[in-house]
Structure 1
Amino acid sequence: MGSKKVSESRTIFTDLVLPPDTNYHGTMFGGNVMAYADKVASISAMRHARARVVTASSDSLDFIAPIHTGEAICLEAFVSYTKTTSMEIYVKVEAENLLTGQRRLTASAYLTFVALDEKGKPTPVPKIIPETEEERWQYQGAEERFKNREKRRQERKAREHLSQDDS
């Protein structure tokens, strides 16, 4: 399997934040931001793998600033790292004041997706070729993020095993 440029997976999504999208503070519900991030990341993963994908994990979703009613939510996602069948997707979330054009970072996240074949089994994905400074920076930190995810998964399995022994 060959490699693909990160730019081939880049996905951009913009939507207007309306009153039903917000809480009593007039800011966007965090769960809505999470849903948008998952959706834009899944499109990015499918563009890269050209296969069906499932979300395997979501980590490091950091809320930095609120998005207010009347602003635009702007999400950008791209594949930042790949293993054999999995892809780490970086998602950047910004708010845009549509009257001034000013943008500010409001959240960022890393999600992991697994590509699936026609039978629903994990299938290999192409490696990535980072080209920009941002893409290279994300790629360089990805192996450590992958190790941290693996550690969390092993700890969860150990806790599950202990709780089954207590039953």
Structure 2
Amino acid sequence: MEAKYVNESRSVKSAHVLPPDTNHHGTMFGGKLMSYIDDIAAIAANRHARKPCVTASTDSVDFLIPIKEGSSVCLEAFVTYAHNTSMEVFVKVITEDLITGKRELCTTSFLTFVALDENGKPSKVPNVIPQSEEEKMLHESAPDRREARRLRRVDSKRFAEIFTVKKPWE
């Protein structure tokens, strides 16, 4: 399987932040933005794998500054790293004041997706070739994030056993 350049997965989405998208503070609902993040990340993962992909985890969503009603958000996603059947996708969100033109990085996120074959089973994906300094930095630091995900997953499985609701007769 031939490796792919990061730019082959790069995906961009913009949206106007309207009143229904905001909370009582006049800022964008975090959950609404998280939905946009998952959507654009899924497109990037599908572009890289050219197969159906599912979200395996949302590693982090860091809200750096509030996004105000009336502004816009521009999301950019790309695959930073691939390992067998999984892909790490980085998403950055820029907010723009549409009146002044001021743009600021407001959110960053890392998600993991798994590619699926025609039977819904995990399927191999191409490796990633980073080119820019940003891409190289994210690619080189990806194995550390992958290990942190692995450890977190061990905890999650343990929590699932502890917190699973037992039937009274068990």
TM-score above 0.5: yes
Q: CA deviation at 1:140?
A: 1.0
1:157 deviates by 2.2
- Partners of 2:20 and 2:161 in 1: CA distance: 43
After the TM superposition, which of the residue ranges 148-157 and 6-15 deviates more from structure 2?
148-157
For the pair 1:68 / 2:68, whether they are aligned, the reply is yes
**d(CA) in 2 for partners of 1:90 and 1:18?**
25
SS at match of 1:31: helix
Structure 1 residues 18 and 159: alpha-carbon distance in aligned structure 2, compared to 1, 3 A threshold? closer
Q: Which residue of 2 aligns with 1:122?
A: 122
Supply the distance in 2 between the matched residues of 1:54 and 1:63 (Cα, whole angstroms): 23
- Residue 99 of structure 1, CA deviation: 2.2
**Which residue pairs with 2:4 in the alignment?**
4
Aligned partners of 1:129 and 1:80: how far apart in 2?
9
Supply the distance in 2 between the matched residues of 1:157 and 1:14 (Cα, whole angstroms): 36
Aligned partners of 1:81 and 1:150: how far apart in 2?
A: 15
Determine what percentage of the aligned residue pairs are the same residue. Answer: 51
Residue number in structure 2 paired with 1:142: 142
User: Which residue identity is paired with 2:109?
Assistant: A
Runs of 5+ unmatched residues, structure 2: none
Cα deviations by residue, 1:33-58 (Å, 9 ceiling, x for unpaired):
10000000000000000000000000
RMSD: 1.4
Q: TM-score, normalised by structure 1?
A: 0.95
* Aligned-partner Cα distance in 2 for 1:162–1:48: 37
Look up the SS of the partner of 2:74 in the other structure.
strand
TM-score (norm 2): 0.93
Distance in 2 between residues matched to 1:155 and 1:137, nearest whole Å: 28
Structure 1 CA distance, aligned partners of 2:90 and 2:39? 12
Q: What's the CA shift string for 1:46-74, capped at 9, x where partnerless?
A: 00000000000001211100111110011
* CA distance in 1: counterparts of 2:96 and 2:161, whole angstroms: 47
**In the TM superposition, what is the alpha-carbon distance from 1:102 to its structure 2 partner?**
1.5
Residue matched to 1:95? 95
Q: Shift of residue 132 of structure 1? A: 0.4
Aligned twin of 1:23: 23
The CA deviation at 1:161 is 4.1
* Structure 1 alignment gaps of length 5 or more: none
> What is the rounded CA distance, in whole Å, between the counterparts of 2:50 and 2:128 in structure 1?
14
